[in-house]
Structure 1
Amino acid sequence: MVALASVSLAGVLALAGVLVASPDAPAADGPVWDAGAPTTPAPSGSATPTPAPSASPTPVLRLPGPVPSTGSGTFEYATGRGPVLGRAGQLRRYRVAVEDGADEDVARFATAVDSALGAPGSWIANGQRRFQRVPDGGGHDFTVYLVTAATAREMCAAVWVDNRVDGKSYTSCRGLGKVIINLDRWRLSVPHYVAAKVPLDVYRSYVVNHEVGHELGFAHERCPGRGKLAPVMMQQTLFLNGCVANPWPYVDGERYAGPPL
């Protein structure tokens, strides 16, 4: 994701409203992020208690606590070989790595990446591509890195991507064979997702599928219209421009895309 240095965070926030897009955006035929409701207990002593409505757990929108801003610049790689994700097509093998000092468990990060790439709406949905996680040294096509903001700035700059907003390392990015996920975004999501109560796991699936989409050769796309789902190749980390958050490149089994940027 290319974030130009001239982009201001205030400008980003101005584009986002209560419903991810804007307060007057029409309802979309997409996901509704429910923050959950309390459960009503059954009355005591009732012979035939009325079942209480099941409560949806309050979604985690961002993680509390400080986020390490710098790490060692060295990496721990996930071990083992994951299952083949997808039913047919070209097999792309990937490693998963976490920067030392990021205070993140590499196995847990690997599970999240596997889940994002193996979901029914991911890039495997068309039956023309498959993914498999492999250990370091197992022969890979690309690596998914989780790195601190300082390292993200260095790694993105090395592949000619400016990931800054308001002069600070902000977005994730992709270079040839490198999917670089910014730890700040992995832990904190983005303000317009948080304001709309979009779960952190949804943002995580989005950012993995977005940057892997670049690795597959897909370019940025625009919002197709107010209240519609945002294409996964839209720069949802920066804005939604009236669209609704969406982490998947395929919706109802069909490739979901917007106009080219």
Structure 2
Amino acid sequence: MPRITSGGPVEPAPAPSRAGVPRGGDGVFNTARAVGPVVGRGGELRRFRVQVEDGIELVAGDVALEIQGILAHPRSWGAHGRGRFQLVADEADFVIRIATPDTADRLCRESGFDTHGELNCETAEGVVVNLRRWTLGSPTFAGTPRAYRHLIINHEIGHEIGIRRHLGCPGPGRLAPVMMQQIKGLGGCRSNAFPYDEEGIYIAGPAVS
């Protein structure tokens, strides 16, 4: 288990460049001291903390507010009754960690996932986000790294709210489901970061293992 330390934002720092994404860190995490409002229209309330590994050019408080904004988006889970979410600084139902690739691999491996220095995962404690994906996005995603972060959070929170199986592409040219592992290929679909389309309809697809 990583050691956890408390710490809040000091001064904003830019996200690291491609060359500046460190491979590993010391496994010590800073916890965002921010507290946010409840977002979402219905369903179970889940409180979450955000932690960022030491030694990377991200500020825990800034990351926490960005994630809160993702969960509050009108096409995300909270807007359609699948759950309510609240950013907290202390006792939480799950934690979202931004970790260097080596640390992410170790945390994910403890839950039985082989993430190859590239992928994110959902563990018993919450979500582990690979710093490389948070910073650089994905070569299969037609959008900026910031837009890709919506996919990261929505996909892993989908697991957190009980969606265990991944989905496949529903058909050529259609939006890829958020529960599709889009980084592994789109199968003819268009990349997409949200569980719902602009009409509020859930974007489904065939179940895959």
Shorter-normalised TM range: 0.7 to 0.9
- Partners of 2:47 and 2:87 within 8 A in 1: yes
Q: Which has the higher contact order (CA 8 A, sep 6+)?
A: 1
Q: Percent identity?
A: 42
Q: Distance in 2 between matches of 1:200 and 1:115?
A: 15
RMSD: 1.4
Following the alignment from structure 1 to structure 2, what is the Cα–Cα distance between the partners of residues 66 and 78? 22
Corresponding position: 1:189 with 2:134:
no
Q: What residue in structure 2 maps to residue 256 of structure 1?
A: 203
Task: State the Cα distance separating 1:89 from its structure 2 match.
Answer: 2.3
Q: CA deviation at 1:153?
A: 0.7
Pair 1:171-2:119 in alignment: yes
Q: 1:213: which partner in 2?
A: 158
Q: Which runs of 5+ in 1 are unaligned?
A: 1-61
Give the deviation of 1:238 after TM superposition: 1.7
Match of 1:228 in 2: 174
Q: CA deviation at 1:72?
A: 1.4
In 2, distance between residues paired with 1:72 and 1:156? 16
Match of 2:25 in 1: 71
Alignment check: 8 A CA contact 1:230 1:245 kept:
yes
Whether the aligned pair in 2 keeps the contact of 1:95 and 1:143 (CA below 8 Å) is: yes
Letter in 1 for 2:160: E
- In 1, Cα distance between equivalents of 2:62 and 2:183: 22
Q: How does 1:1-261 map to 2 (within 5 A)?
A: 63-135=17-89, 137=90, 139-164=91-116, 169-193=117-141, 196=142, 198-218=143-163, 219-251=165-197, 252-261=199-208
SS at match of 1:250: coil
Unaligned runs of at least 5 residues, structure 2: 1-15
Check whether the contact 1:176–1:215 (CA below 8 A) recurs between aligned residues. Answer: no
Structure of larger gyration radius: 1
Helix, strand or coil: the match of 2:78? Answer: coil
Moved over 4 A (4+): none
1:189-248 Cα shifts (integer Å, max 9, x gaps): 12222xx4x121221100111011111111200000111000000001221111111111
Secondary structure, counterpart of 2:77 in structure 1: coil
Q: Distance in 1 between matches of 2:180 and 2:62?
A: 26
Matched-pair contact (CA < 8 Å) for 2:140–2:191: no
Preserved CA contact (<8 Å) 1:163 1:171 = yes
**Contact 1:70–1:102 at 8 Å: present in 2 too?**
no
Aligned residues, how many? 191
